Each structure stands twice: as structure tokens, then as C-alpha cells.
């Protein structure tokens, strides 16, 4: 069956609307904006205090807006999304299985690829919506300061790619079980594992340590936070997402033939 993005988009739009028929989207968005707002206010206050102290002691201007606010702000955003991604993805297939609607979905005139891509896009759209609401922070920095616009743009791109890896992992585990709690817990555990995997590189050999560093999700975000887009980082994230969706396809394919 030929892949149709239009069919995937129809599924994505339907599932995206479904988020807002339950408290999930409202709770996740409200929690996300509250924490991000508090962190922005804290980072901005701390930066202003540091700048004032540097001027008083004649030590120059201190850290730039990029180092003092932008990098820590979007770095913290990645941590928050690590915790929130399981809540966004846990219901995608698990709920379909629990309600016994998965059979209807899989017998519809849709390919598995179209279904999986549609489910992935619905979660991606929710994350993108959440992130779009934080644009007010860089706007404030532009009005009252002179931030590095490039670093802000690449931070958003890197965060979207990193979040997509969380989502792909969540889609996979949601397809593996009908228990949403289990799916969410496994998604968080896997995301945390690939976040911290480079910690083991400190005690590994030179070759193995490079391999562990390469597998670390956050390691590939560092260039984005500095305003740099490296093709190797983009390829890694896209490959991670592709593998997650491929394994989801295999899981659902085996489920269909049981």
C-alpha cells in the first residue's frame, strides 16, 4: 500500500484534538508553562544580579545572554520534556488496545506506517504547541537586550529533535502494552537511559567511551545550544526517531498476526 501523508495527517489531527477532550493536555501544558516561566524569571534575575556585581567590581559585563540565560533555559526545557513526554505518548496505542479499538484501526484502509506516523505527529504537534507558547521569553530578551538570535533558533530546533526522540520512544512502548502507566514508565526510563548513557564513558576505554558519548541524546544537543547545526547531530536524531518508529511497526505487525 502506498504511503499517504494526507491519511497520516488525518490521524494526527484527530488524536491531537483528543488530547484536549481530556485533562491531559491542559495539565501538561499548564505544568510546562509554570515551570518554564519560573525558570525564565529565576535565570533572568540571576543574570541581572551577576551583571550588576561584575560592573560594581569592574570586571566587565560578565556572561553573555546566550551563556547566562538562553543555554540554561533551553537545557532545562529538555529536562522538563523528558518528564512530560511519557504523559503525552503513553495513551497513543495503549488506550486503543485497552478500549479494543485497535482492531478497527488496523483493519481500516490505512497502512501501519500511516497509522504510526499519524500517532507520532499528534504527539509532536502537542509538544510543538507547548514550545511555541514559550516564544514570549526570547521576545522579552530581544526587547530588553541583544541576544544571539541564531542560538535561540538552533536551541528550538535541537529541542524539537530531542523531544521527537522521546516521542518515538513513547510511541514504541505504547504499542507494546495496553497499560498506560507501564508505557509511561518505560518511556521515561528509556529516555533517562539514553540521556545519561555517556556517564559510563568516564570509566570505559577510549573507543567504547566515544561510542557511549555518541549514543547520548543530550550530547548531540550541545552544538544546537551554541548556535551550531552539525549534520552528524541531525542525522543521529533522525536515525533515532526512524528506528523507534520502525520497531513500533514491527511490534504492531506482529500484534496484527496473533
Contact 9, 116 (CB under 8 A): no
pLDDT at 24: 83
pLDDT at 58: 59
Domain boundaries, the chain: 5-256
pLDDT at 257: 63
Report the pLDDT averaged over residues 226-236: 92
Average pLDDT, rounded, for the chain:
87
Report the pLDDT averaged over residues 133-143: 90
Q: b/e per residue, 59-98, with b = 16+ CB within 10 A? A: eeebebbbebbbbbbbbbbbeebbbbbbbbbbbbbbbbbe
Q: Higher confidence at residue 59 or residue 158?
A: 158
pLDDT tens digits along 85-95: 999 999 999 88
110 pLDDT tier (thresholds 50, 70, 90): confident
Stated pTM of the model: 0.90
Q: Which residues contact 233 (CB under 8 A, 6 or more apart)?
A: 158, 161, 220, 221, 223, 224
Q: Higher confidence at residue 45 or residue 258?
A: 45
C-alpha cell at 249: 511497526
Q: Higher confidence at residue 98 or residue 63?
A: 98
233 pLDDT tier (thresholds 50, 70, 90): very high
Report the pLDDT averaged over residues 156-169: 96
pLDDT tens digits along 7-38: 899 999 999 998 998 888 899 999 999 999 99
Residue % of the chain over a pLDDT of 70:
91
pLDDT at 55: 65
Query: What are the φ/ψ torsions at residue 41 (nearest 5 degrees)?
Result: -60, -40
Residue 78 pLDDT greater than 90, yes or no = yes
* Sign of the C-alpha dihedral computed for residues 225, 227, 229 and 232 taken in this order: negative
Helices 71-89/112-132 angle, 10° precision: 140
Residue 4 pLDDT greater than 90, yes or no = no
Report the pLDDT averaged over residues 123-146: 91
Amino acid at each position: 500500500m502506498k504511503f499517504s501523508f494526507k491519511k497520516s495527517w488525518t490521524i494526527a489531527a484527530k488524536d491531537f484534538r483528543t488530547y484536549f477532550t481530556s485533562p491531559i493536555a491542559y495539565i501538561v501544558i499548564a505544568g510546562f508553562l509554570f515551570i518554564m516561566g519560573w525558570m525564565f524569571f529565576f535565570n533572568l534575575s540571576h543574570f541581572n544580579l551577576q551583571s550588576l556585581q561584575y560592573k560594581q567590581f569592574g570586571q566587565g559585563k560578565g556572561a553573555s545572554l546566550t551563556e547566562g540565560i538562553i543555554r540554561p533555559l533551553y537545557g532545562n526545557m529538555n529536562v522538563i520534556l523528558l518528564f512530560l513526554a511519557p504523559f503525552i505518548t503513553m495513551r497513543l496505542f495503549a488506550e486503543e488496545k485497552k478500549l479494543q479499538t485497535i482492531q478497527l484501526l488496523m483493519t481500516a484502509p490505512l497502512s501501519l506506517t500511516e497509522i504510526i506516523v499519524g500517532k507520532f505527529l499528534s504527539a509532536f504537534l502537542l509538544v510543538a504547541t507547548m514550545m511555541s507558547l514559550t516564544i514570549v521569553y526570547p521576545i522579552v530578551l530581544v526587547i530588553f537586550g541583544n541576544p544571539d538570535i541564531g542560538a535561540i533558533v538552533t536551541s528550538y530546533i535541537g529541542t524539537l529533535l530531542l523531544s521527537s526522540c522521546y516521542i518515538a520512544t513513547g510511541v514504541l512502548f505504547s504499542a507494546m502494552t495496553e497499560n498506560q502507566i507501564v508505557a509511561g514508565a518505560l518511556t521515561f526510563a528509556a529516555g533517562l537511559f539514553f540521556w545519561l548513557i555517556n556517564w559510563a564513558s568516564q570509566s570505559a576505554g577510549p573507543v567504547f567511551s566515544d561510542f557511549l558519548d555518541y549514543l547520548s541524546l543530550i550530547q548531540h544537543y550541545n552544538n544546537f545550544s551554541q548556535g551550531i547545526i552539525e549534520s552528524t547531530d541531525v542525522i543521529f536524531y533522525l536515525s533515532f526517531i526512524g528506528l523507534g518508529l520502525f520497531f513500533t511497526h514491527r511490534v504492531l505487525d506482529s500484534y496484527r498476526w496473533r
